[in-house]
Amino acid sequence: MRIDLFELLSKREIVHPTTLSSATFREGSIRLEISGYPWWIGGAWTDRGLLTLTFKGVSGGQTNITALLAGEDEDEFLELEIVPTASLHWASPERFSIYCSQPIPEPLKIHALVERYIAETGARRELGEILNGAHDLSRFLSFSSSPPFLLATGPEQLHDVLTAELERQAVAHTTHGGKGRAEARWFVALPDAWFFCEEAIAEWAD
């Protein structure tokens, strides 16, 4: 049987015991073999089955499957998640760049807003990928006091939050819209890995 993984998970819930038994990486694809209770078809609790998950067109993310393979917790794989990338506003190719022409009086307020955005949305982005110079706090503080400068680049939701704060602090700024790199169709998350992919398929023997 071969089925779209998103469709399968919309119909069936992953049930303990479920263990990742092997992982293979090859030419932009990831192949995972799952063993344990065959929740994908149901059956008696004493049954055991093997499910193969294939992800094609893999890009971005962190694919530390080795750490997951080393895990001893059979429940660990219950955390598999797949969602359409289009539903994640933080992954949207639409980008807004904010430029400031005055120093920011309270730059740590801006810093905290971006940190909160990442935490609350679960965005798989580093602070410095959004906020200019924020890989290092002292560098960000230096940028924010030396106009003109690029403050941040991010999706519309974050843009609205940041520009509201800049207006509160009476900082002159401009915004430029554009498109960034479009991510692949699906977003996949595991306990020790996450990535984007174009296709996610589940297969098992009938």
Express each pLDDT in 92-123 by its tens digit.
877 899 999 999 999 999 999 999 999 998 88
Q: Tell me the per-residue pLDDT of 157-200, one tens digit each, with 9 for 90 and over.
A: 899 999 999 999 999 999 998 777 778 899 999 877 889 999 99
In whole angstroms, what is the distance from residue 47 CA to residue 26 CA?
31
DSSP 89: G
CATH 3.30.1390 residue ranges of the chain are: 94-179
Identity at 65, one-letter amino acid code: I
CATH 3.30.1390 is the classification of domain 94-179: yes
How would you list the strands of the sheet with 2-4, edge to edge?
2-4, 199-203, 49-56, 29-36, 18-26
Could you tell me which residues are beta bridge partners of residue 196? 59, 187
Question: Nearest-5° angle of CA 97, CA 98, CA 101?
Answer: 140
